[in-house]
Amino acid sequence: MSFLNKENKEALVEVKNLKTYFYTEEGVVKAVDGVDYEIYPGETLGIVGESGCGKSVTSLSIMRLVESPPGRIEAGEINFKGTDLTKLSEKEMRKIRGNDISMIFQEPMTSLNPVYTVGDQIVEAIMLHKGVKRKEARRQAIEMLQKVGIPLPEQRVDEYPHQLSGGMRQRVMIAMALSCDPQLLIADEPTTALDVTIQAQILELMNSLKESYGMAIMMITHDLGVIAEVSDRVAVMYAGKVVEYTDVDTLFDDPKHPYTWGLMNSIPKLDKDVDRLEAIPGSVPSPLNFPEGCKFNTRCPLAEGKCYDVEPPLEDTDGGHMVRCWRYEHLEEIKKRGERIYEDRGVQK
Amino acid sequence: MKWKEVLTRLLKNKLSLFGLIIILFFVLVAVFAPYLAPPRSPEDAYEIPRAGWQVEPQPPREGYPFGTAQGSYDIFYGMVWGTRTAFRIGVIVVGFSSLLGITIGTLSAYYGGKIDEFFMRITDVFMSIPFLVAAMVLTTILGKGLDNVMIALVTFGWMGTARLMRSQVLEIKNEEFIQASIALGASDPRIIFKHIIANCIFPVLIQAFMRMGSMVITASALSFLGVGAPEGYADWGQMITFARDWILGGQGSALKYWYTVVIPGAAIMLFSLSWNLIGDAFRDILDPKLN
Amino acid sequence: MRKESYELVNYIIRRFLILPFILFGVTVLVFSMIMMLGPYQRLSTYINDPAQLKGQDMDKLISKYGLDDPWYEQYGRWIGGVVKGDFGWSESAGQPVTTAIFSRFPATLELALFAVIPVVMGGIWLGVLSAVHHNQKFDHIIRIISTIGWSFPTFVFGLLVLMIFYGVLGWFPPGRLGADAAAIVRSTEFIRYTGLNVLDGILNLEFNVVFDAFRHLIGPIVTLSIVWWSYILRITRSSMLETLRKDYIRTARAKGVAEKFVINKHARRNALIPVVTVAGPMVLGLLGGVVIVESVFGYRGIGQYAAQAAQQLDYSGILGVAMYFSFLLILINLIVDVSYAVIDPRIRLE
């Protein structure tokens, strides 16, 4: 699946048929059920989907941070520079976390330890992976704080998290994540909890750091605007599976999956003049109760026959644009005719 | 939080089920006391009948299934009617002290400012005297006896509830006011009040369950020390009062008089344990739901 | 770094300033209870020596000691005595109250000190372990033991300990010292450094005394600590469980921190915050428990004195103990508040 690999690079991370299940009292939750994607060095892969589609769990699986019990990586491979992460021991995994692969999370308000200074927490990461002494680590920490745009870093480094604003804390998180030069940064909804203006700043920061560090980013979000802003390629997830997978421009110009189409057309756009927005009816089915066949069939206006019996495979439609749908050609025709597929749900202009 | 759901989960939890069964057992004993241990007359129901004039405790035997304590008091009788005493103490003390605590805590949090400061300082002052010692001071001054013990326990037992209620109300206060004043325009104090109580009541309830046990323990400790129920009164703690001398002074094996300690002691412990188990289970049920 | 300590010192000073108000409040509370007594009963709280009362009739006494004066004047007089350390005369002890209390202070101190150790160390350590092994067998066993321990009436437990370990086995006798050890302690060669038998025994190199003192202490220590050990354990456990669910724990793991450090460095300090909060109520409970334990074990400390005084309606005695314990409690609460601020930097801004 190495499309768009113009420079024919080796994938940094290759996720193959990943299955992560949760064994709960009420039954088995197949949070991630056979997911494939790649992340190439220096690029940003966007993972987009609604809450509960499994996007966070895939990233936690890569980091092997899935709570186990009740979760478990049931099957699949996660190849990081040739090594299968699912097969590593906990000790070996710890060398990778925060070091080769870093992760930042959604809630900056609660993601930092309130009883230690901001500096201490960054220093911890540095001393852990780089083996330098405290004085040197502190110097590097201050440098990192500067790089992420925090003013007066020599002062801030001794402050406690509660003394910083949400945006600042997220910058600290980024500083901490990048302190050891990771090759991949996983960002799980990093801007969702922030104000819109701060959001833009953080995304810009991430982009520029990506350049200077030459690292790859896995951006997980439900927000299409963020996807458009930072991604090179995108994987759309639904009910534990990837349903569409292509580069970002193609995704926005030519979405082939009815779900993606619904997502695109439920947000107002400046360059399109529509009387009404389309909205996907219904909601994501409960993971304990997935339907037979295509998981989207409960909400898809194009579903018929086969869609209810057999799960469609991920198909290459042309030149690397992957779609998981039996009816995507039908959707193409509808698009050509300029029609809508979703009913209006009262969202007026 | 539907009550039915809470009840079902309480019953499913093995530990709380155990607690509920024991409480039920005690309730039955209390209710059927007149049949289990018929009193000589209704007025003397709480006076333990004596089997004779022997000073030394006698082990369980025909007619006296739990034996007799110092002074030949029938332990079985004392245990049965002592159950009523225990419930009486628990309900009255926890009831009144909770009422007092809820009132003070709510008023304090609701009005805030100087009123809050005032009530909180008073709470601090009352909490500065160790509970048992404070109760002992009051019983010394007011006189011995269970009624005075209950007064003492209520007087010094409301602070925990007050603080808890206050912190609960403080949490709710901001949300409710904002919501109510925006959505309703004129905010009806009665609705807000009902809302506040409804949301704050669970932790206070849990605390009340725990206190049922701890208050009965404290009351029986006071009786044990000789400051509570008078000699011969049907109270679990009172029956243990003289046990110590026999354990230390008696000839031969100290275990000889085990029934004077173990039987009433087990009752006190089981009573407290069952309330604690229910309170614990209650807390576990409500906690994950809230998070 | 300097900014940190400035905030801390500021906080400590602020807490110190509230002290006098609370102390005042306590004296008012105690005094109002005194005023519930009749004039003759109140006398015992004012005078130092019953000989002074000989041969005087009620009216003379009332006017002499101002027992009918307005309450604020009486309060002033009483407080004047209290500040000088004069709590009146104790009928039950046959001594001035202050003497009675201070002569018994070392015994109670020794008991309390020894009891705190298993409570704090054992309770916290097991609480953390229990939370880490959540829902496994170890956790279940610990939970059951601690729930039972928390529900056990102290005096019943004490009696059982006495019954089994003294009555049957003869290991842990009541009282403070056996006859032989007591003789050694009373002798002139034995120097009383602290009043604590174990410590003094060590300092005097009289290991018989140490052993004997310890033998007498175990029963009371175990009895006193069982309830509070259970309490601390439960609080630590639930606090730890909640802390382990927090986001910053996930962040620590994502950084590659070893699980051992995640628990001991990141989680524990946060989990202990609510535990420190209950240190105050715990000391309060310990001071009450001391009364019961000393009574059960015939241990000659302040607690036993308090029980005696209450039984014999020795007003000045019991009131003296109440005052004394309150001062102690207020002081300890202050220390707890300060430790709280040291552990949790967020508090310092309040």
Chain A residues with beta carbon closer than 8 angstroms to that of C252: 113
Please, which residues have CB within 8 angstroms of residue A226's CB and are 6 or more apart in sequence?
A46, A191, A199, A203, A219
Q: How confident is the model at residue A320 (pLDDT cuts 50, 70, 90)?
A: confident
Give the model's confidence band at B243: pLDDT under 50 very low, under 70 low, under 90 confident, else very high.
confident
Chain B residue closest in CA terms to C327: B128
Edge-to-edge strand order for the sheet containing A13-24?
A27-39, A13-24, A71-80, A83-84
Q: Which two tokens stand for residue C15?
A: 């807490």
Amino acid at B132: L
C135–chain B nearest CA distance, Å: 13
**Residue B102 to residue C134: CA distance in whole angstroms:** 34
Q: Which helix (H) or strand (E) holds A18?
A: strand A13-24
Question: What is the C-alpha to C-alpha distance for residues C134 and A131, in angstroms, rounded to an integer?
Answer: 34
Interface test mutation site (partner C, options B70, B125, B139, B291, max chain C beta carbons within 10 A) = B125
- Residues of chain B in contact with residue C309, where contact means CB-CB under 8 angstroms, are 140
Q: C230, C239 in Cβ contact below 8 A?
A: no
**pLDDT at B15 exceeding the cut of 90:** no
Q: How many CB pairs under 8 A join A and C?
A: 69
Question: Once rounded to an integer, what is the mean pLDDT over residues B116-144?
Answer: 89
Distance of CA C40 to CAs A19, B140, C44, C95, C302, Å?
A: 85, 15, 8, 18, 25
Disruptive mutation site among C151, C233, C313 for chain B (greatest number of B CBs within 10 Å): C151
Which chains does chain C touch, 3 or more C-beta pairs < 8 A? A, B
Residue A54 region, left (φ>0) first, then alpha (ψ -120 to 50), else beta? left
For residue A102, give how far its alpha carbon lies from the nearest alpha carbon of chain C (Å): 7
3-state SS track over C122-134: HHHHHHHHHHHCC
Mean pLDDT of A217-234: 91
> By the CB < 8 Å criterion, does C165 face chain B?
no
Query: Is the Cα torsion angle C70, C76, C79, C81 positive or negative in sign?
Result: negative
Q: Which chains touch A (3 or more CB pairs under 8 A)?
A: C
Contact list in A for residue C253 (CB cut-off 8 A) is 65, 97
A contacts of C246 (beta carbons < 8 Å): 110
Share of chain A above pLDDT 70, in %: 93
Taking residues B95-102, report their average pLDDT. 94
Q: Are A79 and C310 in contact (CB under 8 A)?
A: no
B159-184 helix and B189-224 helix, angle to the nearest 10 degrees: 170
Are B220 and B230 in contact by the 8 Å Cβ rule? The answer is no
Residues 221-260 of B with CB under 8 A from C: 221, 224-227, 240, 243-244, 247-248, 253-255, 258
Taking alpha carbons only, the member of C97, C52, C102 closest to residue C78 is C97
By C-alpha distance, which of A125, A151, A154 is closest to A139?
A154
- Using CA atoms, how far apart are residues A181 and C276, in angstroms rounded to an integer? 39
Asked if the C-beta of B22 comes within 8 angstroms of chain C's C-beta atoms, the answer is no
B76-98: per-residue pLDDT in tens? Answer: 888 999 999 999 999 999 999 99
Question: Of B259, B257, B261, B231, whose CA–CA distance to B246 is shortest?
Answer: B257
Per-residue pLDDT of chain C in tens (350 residues, 90 and over written 9): 455 667 778 878 887 887 888 888 888 888 888 888 777 677 766 666 666 666 666 666 667 666 777 777 777 877 887 788 778 878 788 888 888 898 899 889 889 888 888 888 888 888 898 888 888 888 888 888 888 888 889 999 999 888 888 877 778 888 888 888 888 877 877 777 777 888 877 887 878 888 888 888 898 999 998 888 888 898 899 899 889 988 999 999 999 899 899 999 999 888 888 888 888 788 888 888 999 999 999 888 999 999 999 888 888 888 889 988 988 888 888 888 888 877 777 776 65
Interface with chain B: mutation pick from C135, C141, C156, C291, highest number of B CBs within 10 Å: C156
pTM equals 0.79
